[in-house]
Amino acid sequence: MAAYGRQTYNYAYRLTGNEADARDLTQEAFIRVYRAWRSFQPGTSFLSWIYRIVTNLHRDELRKRKGVFLQELPDDNMAHDLPREQLEHDPIAEIHDRQLSSAVARALAQLTPDQRAVVLLADVEDRSYQEIADIMACSIGTVRSRLHRARVQLRKLIPRQREREKQQGYGV
Amino acid sequence: MKNGRASDYSILNLIAMSCRKIRELLTAYQHRELDAATDALVFSHLGTCAPCREELAAANDLRETLRMAFAPPLELPPAVIAGVREATRRERRAWAADLLRTLLRPVVWAPTAAVVVVAASILTHAHPEQTTAPLTADYFVRQHVVHTMSLQSGDRTWSAYVLTSGGTETADATQP
């Protein structure tokens, strides 16, 4: 935990956008590691393993909070195809709205959990596509397409959130 | 090829590639995830296409914005470590209690006890000559006599025998 705790906590913070949830997520992830220690395969990346646990826990938590199974966006559903209401009144984003002030964090909160995880792993954590595919349990092609779509959305959402914050009178 | 992955685009396709196709590859180009041939062709396209260069600059800006939003990294709060330790300690205790409860069930301990008794009985009867003598005063005196007799001979041996017989009787006589 001494070796990987800080990295895991920061990844959890980036996913959740607030420290309280990041603490819970990190704690729960390490408890799962303790329980499933025997299922860890030597020779594989421990960090990828624990990131996968954090990603899955975060996804489960968001589903629970939303109350229904979270529907993934279909791969061909680009940001500009989404109804404006869906982009601006996402229940997940509303949960984050209570805790975040950063335009970037608000924009990230409007992505699907998988898109958010992919963007954070590629752009902030500097993980390779292969590592991301291992963490997300998907193919490299899926990583590429999720990343591309997520970035297209972020380039629309971040300026919009900045504009919104400017109107509401608090800075980024 | 890069990282052992096959090229996604043949060279002929890339030569005829439009700006739209190049922009789809920019994210992977930025992350250095394209194979060498595709990477070189995107690079050469960027050298001649200003709008695609602007697109790459915007992608770099986005990446920088994301990094800055979460800098600097946070320290792991001690409460998390304490929470994990406490939870794992609780789980260990619960596991030990479960194990004890399982062992104390008659279904488990009765057959185990029966096996132990039977095994002990078999071992005892298999080597009856190895049964140990009771550790009484008489036993120690007799051992002493045997030892003395094996070392010495003559009158002293006989005296020791007499002494043993008399000693035992004397010892018995002193008993209330």
Concatenating the DSSP letter of every residue in A127-140 gives --HHHHHHHHTS-H
Summarize the confidence of residues A98-107 as an average pLDDT: 68
**How far is it, in rounded angstroms, from Cα B74 to Cα B66?**
15
Asked if B91 and A130 come within 8 Å (Cβ–Cβ), the reply is: no
Could you give the 3-state DSSP secondary structure of residue B2? strand
Cβ–Cβ contact A26 with B under 8 A:
yes
pLDDT of residue B4: 42
Summarize the confidence of residues A41-48 as an average pLDDT: 85
How many CB atoms are closer than 10 A to CB B147? 11
Digit-coded pLDDT (tens) for A45-70: 888 999 999 999 998 888 887 644 34
Cβ(A135)–Cβ(A48) below 8 Å: yes
Question: In chain A, how many domains are there?
Answer: 1
How many angstroms separate the CA of residue B52 from the nearest CA in chain A? 15
Residue in B28, B67, B88 closest to A34 by CB: B88
Cβ(A104)–Cβ(A158) below 8 Å: yes
Cβ–Cβ contact A19 with B under 8 A:
yes
Residue in A27, A151, A154 closest to B80 by CB: A27
- The token duo for A104 is 């970037």
pLDDT of residue A90: 52
Beta bridge partners, B2, equal B5
- In eight-state DSSP terms, residue B154 is T
Summarize the confidence of residues A81-98 as an average pLDDT: 47
How many CB atoms are closer than 10 A to CB A55? 26
Cβ–Cβ contact B156 with A under 8 A:
no
Q: What ranges do the domains of chain B cover? A: 11-69, 137-174
- Asked whether residue A79 carries a pLDDT value surpassing 70, the answer given is no
Cβ(B74)–Cβ(A18) below 8 Å: no
pLDDT of residue A77: 42
Q: Which of A60-74, A111-125, A152-166 has the lowest mean pLDDT?
A: A60-74
pLDDT of residue A106: 85
How many angstroms separate the CA of residue B68 from the nearest CA in chain A? 9
Residue in B59, B69, B74 closest to A151 by CB: B59
pLDDT of residue A152: 92
pLDDT of residue B133: 67
Helix (DSSP H) and strand (DSSP E) numbers for chain A: 9, 0
Q: What are the two backbone dihedrals, phi and then psi, of residue B2, each rounded to the nearest 5 degrees?
A: -135, 135
Nearest-CA neighbor of A156 among A106, A118, A117, A113?
A106
How many CB atoms are closer than 10 A to CB B156? 13
Chain B residues in contact with A147 (beta carbon < 8 A): 27
Concatenating the DSSP letter of every residue in B60-77 gives HHHHHHHHHHTPSPPPPP
CA angle B87, B75, B81 (to 5 degrees): 15
pTM: 0.63
pLDDT of residue A54: 94
Chain B residues in contact with A129 (beta carbon < 8 A): 28, 31, 33
**Selected residue with higher pLDDT from B56 and A3:** B56
pLDDT of residue B129: 58
**Selected residue with higher pLDDT from A171 and B83:** B83
Residue with tokens 């992977």: B28
Concatenating the DSSP letter of every residue in A21-44 gives HHHHHHHHHHHHHHHTGGGPPTTS
Cβ(B66)–Cβ(A151) below 8 Å: no
What ipTM was assigned to the predicted interfaces of this complex? Answer: 0.72
- The token duo for B17 is 């590639």
pLDDT of residue B151: 72
CATH number of the domain bearing residue A51? 1.20.140.160
**Selected residue with higher pLDDT from B155 and A115:** A115
Residue with tokens 């998988």: A114
Mean pLDDT of chain A: 79
Asked if B58 and A129 come within 8 Å (Cβ–Cβ), the reply is: no
Asked if B73 and A128 come within 8 Å (Cβ–Cβ), the reply is: no
pLDDT of residue A95: 46
Digit-coded pLDDT (tens) for B39-62: 998 999 999 899 999 999 999 999
The dihedral through the CA atoms of A128, A134, A135, A139 has a sign that is positive
- Give the residue numbers spanning the domain of A84: 5-168
**How far is it, in rounded angstroms, from Cα B137 to Cα A156?**
101
- Below-50 pLDDT ranges, chain B: 1-6, 167-176
How many angstroms separate the CA of residue B102 from the nearest CA in chain A? 20
